[in-house]
Amino acid sequence: MKPVAEIKDEYKSYNEKQLKKVSGYPESVIEKDIVIAYAGTTMTDSQDWKTNGREIGLNDKHDNGAFQSAVDYANEIEKKYSDKEGYRISSTGHSLGGAEAIYVAVLNGYDAFTYGAAGSGLSESQIQGYTGQVVNLYDTSDMVTTGLVTGGKDRIPFYSFGIDNAGWETAGHSLKQFELDDQGNYIDKHGDIVVYTDFQGGISIEQTLLKGQVIQNKKEIRQMELNRYGTLAEKEYIESLEAENRWLERQIEEFSVLVALRSKLTTSGGGLSYNEEIYLEDQQALTVIKILSSKFDEAMENVLTIYREGLVDIEDNWARGVETALSAAPDLSYEEVMDALREVDCTKQSMVDLPSEAFIEKMNKVNQMSSKFSVLTEEISSKINELVDRDHELGAHLA
């Protein structure tokens, strides 16, 4: 395990003598983000395998174990790089190291970014109250994180994203299998982005979650095409999945604009100003509302279609029912047949009018809910515009 404190980009070309001449050295020349990296299992290290068996497999954490040692080490780092001096500590690791990184992050309140992590064995009481972010990336064929060996996937809390990488190196557990595109996004063997970067050393959760459904839909489409399904219903189902993916990709593009905006607002260094934070939070809310509203409208339109078709079906079923009754009793008049139906409470009012009223009432509620979403979106848009108009400095940033 080791802490990683990097020299700021503008000073990376300096030698040690030049760095010491910078005002405020050493604090002024190093990044305030400290990452503690925990090593994974060394194949030839028997102690690592004992840790895997006892502390991960049996979830038997003990005072002299590797997990407690990882916590102790992090505590020592905190003493040297205090948050009171502006330092921000996070943790990372692979395999066993990933499990330790997650364990330490939750206990100490850090963020963690791990690869192929094994189960950290955190209890519900330990997780409660944790406000940080844990992200674990794993290969979908990984025998560790998928739970075939150490129950990783089922015992890793928070965000855990699987990537269908090419090959199966070290039973899918090798770090070398992860690939990045030229923007820093993680891609799968099909070249699809699976995990999006936020251009600040982390990932964009919103885009990644949306893309998860796109990837799942594509997987289902490939499987159906491989099996050469060709019925009309199956073709229509594939078309519906492709249509859903197009919608999801549009929402991902919305978030891409937002991520680019965050990057732009922080290019001057020093993080986001108070007004920039307000603006970005409103933008995030607006984007989320747009997505929810769009998805809601799409879903409600499908519901309305069902209701409209239901109204037609009610009328058709009544007409067919009357026709069947008349055919079954050719010696009775129309009035006599209708009287017989009334005896068993089968009337146009009970079979058509009342259900139709219920459908119409539901349709009205759907329209009212859609209207409320529209009003909320307009309110957020107005608030953002008001903020930008009031803050000329922020407006210049966005120009």
pLDDT tens digits for range 136-160: 999 988 877 765 555 555 567 688 8
CA distance 187 to 195: 7
Q: What is the pLDDT of residue 61?
A: 59
**Tell me: the pLDDT tens digits for 266-282?**
655 556 666 677 677 77
Residue 109: which region, alpha, beta or left (left: phi > 0; alpha: psi -120 to 50)?
Answer: left
Tokens of 388: 């930008």
Bridge partners (DSSP) listed for residue 187:
179, 193
**Least confident range of 7-16, 241-250, 303-312:** 303-312
Rounded Cα distance between 50 and 120, Å, is: 15
Q: Nearest-CA neighbor of 66 among 106, 25, 120?
A: 120
Q: Is the separation of the CB atoms in 132 and 108 below 8 Å?
A: no
Q: Are 251 and 289 in contact (CB under 8 A)?
A: no
Strands 2-4 and 33-38: antiparallel
pTM above 0.85, yes or no: no
pLDDT band at 289 (very low <50, low <70, confident <90, very high): low
Considering only residues 323 and 63, tell me which one the structure prediction assigns the higher pLDDT.
Answer: 323
Strands 2-4 and 186-187: unpaired
Report, as an integer, the average pLDDT of 275-299: 68
Question: With contact defined as beta carbons under 8 Å apart, do 2 and 33 qualify?
Answer: no
Tell me, what's the pLDDT at 55? 45
Over residues 341-354, the mean pLDDT reads 83
101-150 pLDDT per residue, tens: 998 999 999 999 999 888 777 878 888 888 889 999 999 888 777 655 55
More confident residue, 262 or 248: 248
What is the CA 130 to chain-centroid distance, rounded?
Answer: 18
Token readout for 112 is 């963690």
Number of H helices, E strands in the chain: 13, 9
Average pLDDT score over residue span 365-391: 65
Query: Token digits for 52?
Result: 């895997």
